[in-house]
Amino acid sequence: MKKTEFSLKGLRLKRRMWVAVSLITLLPLMILVHYFVSFYVSIFAIFIIAVIVFLGWWIVFEVFSSIIKIHTKFQKAPWQAKEKEALEAKGGENEAENLGEIFNLLTKKVGDLEIIDPLTGLYNEKVFLAKLEEEIKRATVYQRPCGLLAAEINNYKAYEEGTEAPFDCAQGKQNSKGTKVKRKIEYAHEEDKAVAQGEKFLKKTIEVLKDNVRDIDILGRIQDNKIGIILIERNKRQCLETVRKLKEALSIGFKDSGQLTPQISFAVAENPLDGKNAAQLLEAARAQLNQ
């Protein structure tokens, strides 16, 4: 899958800025000097200068629009500690000298957002489907199975909205019976806290899933509350065995963290039994979840 080239060089901002500066300053000055030497300035000359200056400012506007778009996406990007340190290291006294390098680092991160889900760090649905299609083709060539596992976190929306919580929003722990705590959001800060807890719950679930599949298996977020896992060279029976192990791991992992074990529904599909391409395989898995 080809990744969009998104860099300072690719955007040609430096060249466009030089053109803009020339149109705004150098060319108008040259025209004025020419006419002043002739001791005559015509309306036509003023019109030409105005058009040139307008084009220059239009190019400047386009340049800064590109930068603003990148900055907007950059603010939504999930930065890691090492990346933040790299950005800070480029600042300070040498900020002007390192501006191009800083910009390239930011645009690289923006490019990553095209394939990565910002919240979970997994592949987004579009890229996940492309990866699944690649694995299906490879499995077909080598006459090997390709399994797909879909996991749906039940009531994730309720967790995120705070009406049901994996642990009590007020106490930060399970209730005495170890069951879901149902509550009503009354204040704005409670809503923010509930959303944060819902995201934390999702990340914890994904962490357990990632730790209990093979390194070669591929995970992706295929919907708000659904995670897909490509189980390479695994048939349906082996996929079901993986489901059993994941359920055990989730029970242990959440018990150790003091949170309720998430209610997760699993579905498995195998190529070519349940579908000959990525879309068919994913549709088969989703149909099982909806039953």
User: pLDDT tens string for the chain (291 positions)?
Assistant: 444 444 444 456 566 666 776 666 766 666 666 666 665 556 776 677 777 777 777 777 777 776 666 666 555 555 555 555 665 565 545 544 555 666 666 666 666 667 888 889 899 999 999 999 999 999 999 999 999 999 998 877 766 665 555 544 433 444 434 444 444 444 444 556 666 777 888 888 999 999 999 999 999 999 888 999 999 999 999 999 999 999 999 988 887 766 666 789 999 999 999 999 999 999 999 999 988
Residues 82 and 149 in one domain: no
Same domain for 192 and 104, yes or no, is: no
Together in a domain, 32 and 55: yes
**pLDDT value of residue 98:** 54
Closest CA to 19 of 46, 52, 47: 52
Same domain, 73 and 142: no
Inter-residue contact 266 to 246 (CB < 8 Å): yes
Per-residue confidence (pLDDT) for residue 61, from 0 to 100: 76
Question: Do 190 and 248 sit in the same domain of this protein?
Answer: yes
Residue 38 dihedral angles phi and psi, to the nearest 5°: -85, 0
Residue range of the domain that includes 52: 8-112
What pTM value is reported for the model? 0.60
Tell me the pairing of strands 226-232 and 146-153: antiparallel
| Same domain flag for 184 and 208 | yes
Tally of domains in the chain: 2
Q: Can you give the pLDDT at residue 254?
A: 82
pLDDT at site 3 = 43
Per-residue confidence (pLDDT) for residue 12, from 0 to 100? 60
- Supply the CATH number for residue 182's domain: 3.30.70.270
Query: Would you state the pLDDT for residue 273?
Result: 92
Task: Indicate the burial class of 137 (C-beta count within 10 angstroms; 0-12, 13-18, 19 or more).
Answer: middle
